[in-house]
Amino acid sequence: MISINMSLVYTIINLVVLFLLLRHFLFTPVMNIMEQRRKLIEDGLKHAQDAQDDANRMKQEYEKALSGAKQESVQMIEDARRNAKAEYDRIVGQAGDEAGSIIESARETVRIERDKTMQELQSQIADLAVASAARIIGRKTEDQGNQDLYDQFLKEAGESHGDADK
Amino acid sequence: MEELNCETVFTLPVLGDISESVVVTWIIMAVLVILSIIFVRNLRVENPGKVQLALEAAIGWAQDFFEGIIGKENRRYVPYLITVLLYLAAANTLAPLFGFKPPTKDLNVTAALAIMSMFVIEYSGIHKNGVKHWVKHFAEPVPVVAPITVLEIVIRPLSLCMRLFGNMLAGFVVLELLKFFVPLIVPIPVSFYFDIFDGLLQAYVFVFLTALFMTEEME
């Protein structure tokens, strides 16, 4: 019943053969598949992680760019406003200056015109006076009435001359 | 009484007598290999079928179990341990259920398994830590224990061999006696206990202890 014989050797050979066969037909393919699936899942997870990281980074970049653009636009508006203000001030100042000079020159012109007119008037008055005097001298003392007329004229002329001077 | 003997099934010209246990082992081998070929066909990485999922779950369970004992870095021994587990499970349960004598009832088979376990245990230790460490570890706590630790090389597989043989033989004998005295109904639950429960338990214990001894040796 209990005896050690050649069956022991055969069993060892059988087991080794069984191990090799099972390794070839069972363990290698199944473990390969499991390993592949594990790798697939790992790759997928890693991919997803990478994609998420990428998306986050891009989002940050966009946000940065957006806030930069906002700041830039504010800056641009500020610049434009400042420029416009300066231009406005410049134009208004220039216009004021010009208006002042125009008024000044107009006043000057008016003064010169008036002086010229006054001179002309004076000379005309003088001519008139000379002519009147010549006529009066030509007639000599025809009557006293004429004498009165002459006096009155001179007086009037003198007054008007004096008023203009004042 | 003739039930207890391992009869010679046939005699080959060169190899000599081929006993019953060897023939049953061949049958078990053929069944296991054919089943693996059938199940492993059409494996897919994506969308695995139900059969594939069950197969992967079984293999994955066994893998996790052995890796938990011997460590992830020694996973190269896992296929061998699973092979022994499959063979013992088939031999202890399927063989008696289908009317064969369990090959593990033959001392030659359990001795062969134990001898292989012994080689694997010692090889794993030498492979992991080198020959020098392997020689030194016999005198590990104190040199006085060296004879005992050397004896352990033989004692461990011997205990594996005898435990399996004794359990299977005892179960077989009890069942045969019971069948002789009460041939009706009563043997059914007893057969379930001795053939299925005890058979699977002994298969589990055998590989579990082998893995445990390997871990011990690889420390």
Please indicate whether, in this complex, the C-beta atoms of A7 and B6 are within 8 angstroms of each other.
yes
Smallest CA–CA distance from A13 into chain B, residue: B112
Mean per-residue pLDDT, A29-38: 87
Q: What percent of chain A has pLDDT over 90?
A: 51
**Is A122's pLDDT higher than 90?**
no
Q: Does B163 or A156 have the greater pLDDT score?
A: B163
Q: Does A134 or A40 have the greater pLDDT score?
A: A40
In sequence order, the 6+-apart residues with CB closer than 8 A to the CB of A125 are A157, A161
Of B45, B106, B116, the CB nearest to A7: B106
Distance, in angstroms, between A28 CA and closest chain B CA? Answer: 9
Distance, in angstroms, between A44 CA and closest chain B CA? Answer: 13
Q: Does A124 or B45 have the greater pLDDT score?
A: A124
CA distances from A147 to A138, A152, B213 (A): 13, 9, 169
Partners of A38 on chain B (C-beta within 8 Å) are: none
Residue from B22, B39, B53 to probe the interface with A (highest A Cβ count within 10 Å): B22
The one-letter amino acid code at B141 reads P
The CA distance from B36 to B41, in Å, is: 8
Q: Does A107 or B14 have the greater pLDDT score?
A: A107
Q: What percent of chain B has pLDDT over 90?
A: 31
Partners of B21 on chain A (C-beta within 8 Å) are: 7, 11
Structure tokens at A153: 């004229």
Cross-strand pairs, B8: B19
Q: Sign of the CA dihedral A63, A64, A69, A72?
A: positive
Could you report the per-residue pLDDT of A105-116, keeping only the tens digit for each?
999 999 999 999
User: Model-level pTM greater than 0.80?
Assistant: no
Using 50, 70 and 90 to split pLDDT, how confident is the model at A166?
very low
**Is A42's pLDDT higher than 70?**
yes
Nearest one of B105, B96, B80 to B168, comparing CA atoms = B105
Distance, in angstroms, between B130 CA and closest chain A CA? Answer: 24
Partners of A36 on chain B (C-beta within 8 Å) are: 45
Of A1, A12, A22, the CB nearest to B36: A22
* pLDDT, averaged across chain B: 86
Could you report the per-residue pLDDT of A49-63, keeping only the tens digit for each?
999 999 999 999 999
* Res B82: pLDDT: 92
Cross-strand pairs, B11: B17
Q: How many CB atoms lie within 10 A of CB A133?
A: 13
User: At which residue do the structure tokens 């059988």 appear?
Assistant: A14
* Res A44: pLDDT: 94
**Is A77's pLDDT higher than 90?**
yes
Partners of A6 on chain B (C-beta within 8 Å) are: 15-17
The CA distance from B183 to A67, in Å, is: 92
**Is A117's pLDDT higher than 70?**
yes
Q: Does A10 or B16 have the greater pLDDT score?
A: A10
Residue from A6, A17, A18, A35 to probe the interface with B (highest B Cβ count within 10 Å): A18
Distance, in angstroms, between A18 CA and closest chain B CA? Answer: 6
In sequence order, the 6+-apart residues with CB closer than 8 A to the CB of A55 are none
* Res B6: pLDDT: 65
Of B36, B52, B116, the CB nearest to A26: B36
The CA distance from B146 to B139, in Å, is: 5
Please indicate whether, in this complex, the C-beta atoms of A10 and B15 are within 8 angstroms of each other.
yes
User: At which residue do the structure tokens 């208006």 appear?
Assistant: A99
- CB of A28 closer than 8 Å to CB of B59: no
In sequence order, the 6+-apart residues with CB closer than 8 A to the CB of A88 are none
Could you report the per-residue pLDDT of B87-136, keeping only the tens digit for each?
999 998 887 888 888 888 888 889 999 999 999 999 998 998 888 888 88
CA geometry: angle B112, B116, B117, nearest 5 deg: 115
Mean per-residue pLDDT, A35-47: 92
Q: Kind and range of the H or E element at B94?
A: none
Residue from B25, B55, B116 to probe the interface with A (highest A Cβ count within 10 Å): B25
Of A11, A19, A30, the CB nearest to B80: A19
Q: Is A23 on the interface with B (CB under 8 A)?
A: yes
Could you report the per-residue pLDDT of A131-165, keeping only the tens digit for each?
887 777 776 555 666 667 777 777 777 766 555 55
Please indicate whether, in this complex, the C-beta atoms of A4 and B107 are within 8 angstroms of each other.
yes
Q: Does B99 or B24 have the greater pLDDT score?
A: B24
The CA distance from B162 to B100, in Å, is: 21
Distance, in angstroms, between A16 CA and closest chain B CA? Answer: 9
Q: What is the DSSP letter of B10?
A: E
Structure tokens at A140: 């000599």
* Res A140: pLDDT: 59
